[in-house]
Amino acid sequence: MANNDRMYYMGNKNLPNTKWRSEYTKDQVKKLQKAAKNILYFAESFFYIVNLDRGKEKIALYKSQKKTLRKMRDNRFFVLLASRQIGKSTMMTIYILWQACFNEDQRILLVANKEATAIEIFQRVRMAYEELPNWLKPPVKEYAKTSMTLENGSTIGVTTTTGTAARGQSVNCLVIDEMAFIEPHMVEEFWKSVFPIISSSKKSKVFVCSTANGVDNLFYKIYMGAEKGENNWAHDKIMWDEIPGRDAAWAEATRHALGSHDAWRQEFNCEFINFGESSIDDDLYEQLLNNIIEPKLVLDDGHYKIWEEPDPSRIYAAGVDTSEGVGKDAACMQILDITDPRDIRQVATYRNTKMPPFEYTNKVYSILRNYGSPLALIERNNCGAQVVDRLANDLGYEKLVSYGNQKAHRKNIMLGMIAHTNTKHKGVLNMRYWLNDLRVVTLRDEDTLKELRNFVRYPNGTWKARSDHHDDRVMALLYALYVLDTELAQRYFDILEFDDTGQPLAIEPMDFGVALFEDNTSIYLDNEVVGDGNFNLNPIVWGMGDELDDDMNELEEFGYRLLGEKPPDNWTGKPTDYRRD
């Protein structure tokens, strides 16, 4: 028994070492010879995968996968553009193992965008190798976490573009997984140091595969060059519907689950999306432009614009973006009517570049009170913290939405929106769902539409304004729409109905007490109100009941009369002199 154990690496019966010996049957020899010549036979007869539903099983190749494996076998340079979840990493693994087992002295290197991804793929290689019959595979000499060396002199290793495993060394077969998701500066530096050495050999091979990820990367250049016949690369594309069981219903369900039409186009429909494109396309821009109208009221020297005055029967949401108030970025506020999530309307905006946070807090509070104290989502970062905390602590505003603490790894729950990469990305997807996919948002403000037009996606996947443009209004709009994200909406509304993607379709406000609506013109003088309906404001009268009569009598004694009231014949307009006897 002990002697037999010495024939296996670390005593693992699935890892024969260099001391392993066995006699081959005629059938085994026949199968071994066939597997060495036919990669498809090798895969379907001996290659195991782990199916999420059925567990470990031999792979059954799809037609598209067979086509791709043949192209890998027959070409030195091959690039694959593939939909998500079509088994592209598995195909790379099949080729790597087949090449190592049946060819001597092969140096095979798999490169991934992250170390964890590289190790995960190599674990598949290790599992597949261990599942091969001992008589089919060369014994192992070394067997580690990121590399293995076989008795026939072939090695398989994994690395990242930041590693040095391939730099300055010869490689017989280089495989790069998800190339489009490796940072451009990293992959290009790696490519310059490795590709010339590999291409100098007449037999070395390079395989590249990835899902689409924009146009500003090396993968896009290689694939488009191959498709146009401008380089010596063979190419292939595997679409989502080339996998059995995926039909129109599956596509619709997946698209809704993603919550983004752009994500579907890129990740499943193999489209290269230009990251410099606007957040709204031409058709949507024209549709939104048709709804632009002049505000009903313009207050506060043009900073505060109102299209629909407050209505106690409606549900409102406020998004607030903050600034330092020094004339650069603007403090901005968007008020949306979200009563019907299928008909969201922009009803008011506020924007000011020169209002410091302390003063801006008062303005935000006033506008919120105008619209019945709605839910307000306010960016907390930097000077926003002062606005949020003062609203809550000094002014007693209770309807402040808190979000992002967990994603930002904050131990203590803090009021307001903790803005960082993850929350902003989710916010953009949510905004685009209501604005781009459903097209249920009606904008009235032309300046907001202009900012959306210049709100673009950058090569690293982030969204922000083009150079020399601003996105303050867009971010406030994003925050206002954020309250309709299902995770938040379930906290603050009774959701009566969900749509197919799990987003709220019909809502009712939870009982937060009486919503007080203050006249949005009550804090302004007549000459500060412009626009439609510019009528003189009603006079304000203090007091009530008997107190009111006493007040009025006292005013009359001082010579005052109500507007429109005819004074008595003996009225002189002078106050009564109480010093007389």
Same domain, 160 and 244: yes
Mean pLDDT of 194-207: 82
- Domain boundary pick from 488, 509, 530: 509
More confidently predicted of 31 and 407: 31
Contact 117, 129 (CB under 8 A): no
Same domain, 116 and 223: yes
Mean pLDDT of 224-243: 94
Q: Smallest Cα–Cα separation from 77: which of 174, 159, 215?
A: 174
Same domain, 248 and 391: no
Strands 205-210 vs 304-306: parallel, antiparallel or unpaired: unpaired
Instruction: Provide the domain count of the chain.
Output: 3
- Measure Cα distances from 12 to 4, 9, 139, 159, 566 in Å: 11, 6, 12, 26, 110
Same domain, 337 and 383: yes
CB atoms within 10 A of CB 497: 9
| Distant-in-sequence, close-in-space partners of 478: CB < 8 Å, separation ≥ 6 | 319, 424, 427, 428, 430, 431
Mean pLDDT of 217-225: 92
pLDDT at 52: 74
More confidently predicted of 188 and 553: 188
Strands 344-352 vs 304-306: parallel, antiparallel or unpaired: antiparallel
pLDDT at 571: 63
pLDDT at 213: 86
Mean pLDDT of 90-118: 90
Same domain, 226 and 166: yes
Task: Look at residue 56 and tell me whether its pLDDT is greater than 90.
Answer: no
Same domain, 224 and 314: no
- Answer whether residue 43 is part of any domain: yes
More confidently predicted of 264 and 506: 506
- Answer whether residue 276 is part of any domain: no
Same domain, 55 and 141: yes
**Least reliable range by pLDDT among 190-194, 353-357, 552-556:** 552-556
Q: Smallest Cα–Cα separation from 531: which of 211, 307, 225?
A: 307
pLDDT tens digits, 345-397: 999 999 999 999 999 999 999 999 999 999 999 988 878 899 999 999 999 99
pLDDT at 164: 55
Q: Which long-range contacts (CB under 8 A, 24 or more apart) does 57-62 make?
A: 59/90, 59/94, 62/87, 62/242, 62/243, 62/244
Instruction: Provide the token pair at 96.
Output: 């790597």
CB atoms within 10 A of CB 564: 5
pLDDT tens digits, 457-504: 776 667 888 877 889 999 999 999 999 999 999 999 999 999 988 899
Percent composition of the chain: helix, strand, coil (DSSP 3-state, to 5)? 35, 20, 45
Measured N-to-C along each axis, helices 472-482 and 421-432 cross at an angle, to the nearest 10 degrees, of: 80
Task: Look at residue 532 and tell me whether its pLDDT is greater than 50.
Answer: no
Task: Look at residue 103 and tell me whether its pLDDT is greater than 50.
Answer: yes
- Answer whether residue 530 is part of any domain: no
Contact 270, 279 (CB under 8 A): no
Q: Which helix (H) or strand (E) holds 423?
A: helix 421-432
**Least reliable range by pLDDT among 180-194, 235-249, 285-299:** 180-194
Q: What is the CATH number of the domain that holds 380?
A: 3.30.420.240
Same domain, 310 and 235: no
Alpha helices in 200-293 (DSSP H): 218-227, 248-258, 261-267, 282-289
Task: Tell me if residue 277 falls in helix, strand or coil.
Answer: coil
Distance separating alpha carbons of residues 396 and 170, to the nearest angstrom: 69
Q: If you average pLDDT over each of 10-24, 227-241, 323-337, which comes out highest?
A: 227-241
- Domain boundary pick from 227, 251, 267: 267
Q: Full-prediction pTM beyond 0.85?
A: no
Same domain, 455 and 544: no
Q: What is the mean pLDDT of the chain?
A: 84
Contact 404, 418 (CB under 8 A): yes
Same domain, 215 and 77: yes
453 backbone φψ class: left, alpha, beta (φ>0; ψ -120 to 50): alpha
Task: Look at residue 581 and tell me whether its pLDDT is greater than 90.
Answer: no
Q: pLDDT tier at 563 (50, 70, 90 boundaries)?
A: low
Q: pLDDT tier at 49 (50, 70, 90 boundaries)?
A: confident
- Answer whether residue 272 is part of any domain: no
Same domain, 259 and 319: no
Task: Look at residue 193 and tell me whether its pLDDT is greater than 80.
Answer: no
Task: Look at residue 575 and tell me whether its pLDDT is greater than 70.
Answer: no
Mean pLDDT of 48-66: 87
- Answer whether residue 372 is part of any domain: yes
**DSSP readout, 167-210?**
TTS--SEEEEESGGGS-HHHHHHHHHHHHHHHHTSSS-EEEEEE
Task: Look at residue 533 and tell me whether its pLDDT is greater than 50.
Answer: no
Q: pLDDT tier at 262 (50, 70, 90 boundaries)?
A: confident
Distance separating alpha carbons of residues 317 and 306, to the nearest angstrom: 15
- Answer whether residue 241 is part of any domain: yes
Q: Smallest Cα–Cα separation from 250: which of 271, 260, 264, 238?
A: 264
**Least reliable range by pLDDT among 268-272, 276-280, 431-435, 443-447:** 276-280
CB atoms within 10 A of CB 13: 12
More confidently predicted of 420 and 545: 420
- Answer whether residue 518 is part of any domain: no
**DSSP readout, 510-559?**
---S------TTTTS-GGG-BSTT--PPPPP----HHHHHHHHHHHHHTT
Same domain, 76 and 195: yes
pLDDT at 405: 64
Q: Domain limits at 547?
A: 539-581
213 backbone φψ class: left, alpha, beta (φ>0; ψ -120 to 50): beta
Backbone angles phi, psi at 47, to 5 degrees: -95, 125
- Answer whether residue 2 is part of any domain: no
Q: What is the CATH number of the domain that holds 60?
A: 3.40.50.300
